[in-house]
Amino acid sequence: MEWLNYHHFLYFWVVAKEGTIVKAGEVLKLAHPTISGQIHRLERSLGTKLFQRRGRRLELTESGQVAFRYAEEIFSLGRDFVDTIQGHASSKALRLLVGVAEVLPASLVRLFLEPAFSLGHDIQMIVRADSSVDEFLADLALHRIDVVISDGPAPAGIAVRAFSHLLGECDTTFFAVPAIANKLRRGFPQSLDRAPVLMPGARSAVRRALDEWFSANGLRPRIVAECDEGSLLQDLGMAGKGVFTAPKVIEAEVKRQYAVAVVGRSSEVRRQFYAISGERKIRHPAVSAICDAARNIVFAAK
């Protein structure tokens, strides 16, 4: 087994943070050739390049980005160890990096993430939203994020290592402002034919399920808007632009928050939600808390 040279790793970490060997030399009080030579030795021992030059600055390669994240954790843990030994309170927060599919309503995402704040431990949560789960899966492989929250499992046949953990499932509720809901409630779902409807983006799992459901029921709603971002659809619905959907599990909160009424519900448009991780057995305590709470509390008996 070949051991990591932590002096070399420290020099790499400082250069990555400072962006140039000149600035790193000022921080480390070392000559430029010394730092450069140690980093080259580290790259040879790892068998990969960690930096690539962009003008006067050094940028991390993909391997360098993975190494930098580990360096951040290692040297942060080292500071925490020194603080503990010297009797100081630890300032190290549990770090959680989350990727969230934009189609998910913000109130549902909040329900998913809330248990991570109740671990009895300081937490630093970084949340990114994107319409493309594929981008997040690449980040998982490079250890840039810890988990992806999505309305569907990881696609079959992807080239990265990813495991889908079902958080729960529920029916779909259709909402509109009271004036529209009162007209469409009678005769639902046939009342949706030619009715103004706000639809999620084409790449989302719920959009595919809605399209199939409309087709199976012979419905041709008038699509007045389609958006990747779930919260924008709810805002447009609140403004009276049309009917929108949300998971039944947050029905009460949607009614309260957006002052809308229920048009109808469908058990055929089944909503499923997943935590996608890079490991089969989840080890991150915050991700584990999110999964447990979703299964045992959020979706209990739904």
Q: 145 Cβ partners below 8 Å, 6+ apart?
A: 97, 98, 99, 128, 136, 139
**Is there a single domain that holds both residue 168 and residue 74?**
no
Domain of 185 in residue numbering reads as: 94-302
Together in a domain, 60 and 145: no
* CA–CA dist 127, 108 (Å, integer): 14
In a domain, 124, yes or no: yes
Listed residue (103, 77, 45) closest to 230, CA to CA: 103
Domain at 20, CATH number: 1.10.10.10
- Look over the chain and give the mean of its residue pLDDT values, rounded to a whole number: 89
Q: Are residues 98 and 71 in the same domain?
A: no
What does the pLDDT look like over 85-110, one tens digit per residue?
Answer: 766 555 567 889 999 988 899 999 99
Pair 79, 127 in one domain: no
Asked, for residue 240, whether it belongs to a domain, the answer is yes
CA–CA dist 151, 137 (Å, integer): 14
Residue 147 sits in the same domain as residue 47: no
* Residue 250: CATH number of its domain: 3.40.190.290
Residues 120 and 267 grouped into a single domain: yes
Can you tell me the mean pLDDT for 156-184?
92
Boundary residue ending a domain (49, 67, 85): 85
Residue 295 counted as domain residue: yes
In a domain, 1, yes or no: no
- Total number of domains constituting the chain: 2
Beta-carbon contacts of residue 227 (< 8 Å; ≥ 6 apart):
198, 199, 200, 201, 233, 236
Among 85, 118, 138, identify where a domain stops. Answer: 85
Query: What does the pLDDT read at residue 301?
Result: 63
DSSP lists the bridge partners of residue 128 as: 99
Both 27 and 104 in a single domain?
A: no
- The percent of residues above 70 in pLDDT, for the chain, comes to 95
Report the pLDDT value the prediction gives residue 2, as an integer from 0 to 100: 67
Please check whether residues 72 and 188 belong to one and the same domain. no
Q: Convert the pLDDT of each residue in 21-74 to its tens digit.
A: 988 889 899 898 999 999 999 999 999 999 988 877 788 898 988 898 888 888
The answer to whether 174 touches 242, Cβ cutoff 8 Å, is no
Are the C-beta atoms of residues 264 and 171 closer than 8 Å to each other? no
Shared domain for 143 and 246, answered yes or no, is yes
Task: Give the residue from 54, 267, 45 showing the smallest Cα distance to 172.
Answer: 267
Using CA atoms, how far apart are residues 109 and 229, in angstroms rounded to an integer?
Answer: 12
Q: Is residue 181 part of a domain?
A: yes
Task: With a cut of 90, say whether residue 243 has pLDDT above it.
Answer: yes
Q: What is the pLDDT of residue 256?
A: 95
Tell whether 101 and 127 lie within a shared domain: yes
Per-residue confidence (pLDDT) for residue 53, from 0 to 100: 85
Say whether both 110 and 221 belong to one domain: yes
b/e for 259-277, b at 16 or more Cβ within 10 A? ebbbbbbbeebebbbbbbb
pLDDT one-digit tens code per residue, 128-155: 988 677 778 888 877 788 999 999 998 8
The verdict on 288 and 174 lying in the same domain is yes
- Given 63, 85, 107, the domain boundary residue is 85
Question: Is the residue at 224 inside a domain?
Answer: yes
User: What pLDDT is attached to residue 302?
Assistant: 57
Q: Residue 189 pLDDT more than 60? A: yes
The pLDDT value given to residue 88: 57
pLDDT range class, residue 173, cuts 50, 70, 90: very high
223-237 pLDDT, tens digit per residue, is 999 998 888 899 999
- Give me the sign of the Cα torsion angle 33, 38, 44, 47: negative
pLDDT at 176: 98
Backbone angles phi, psi at 182, to 5 degrees: -65, -35
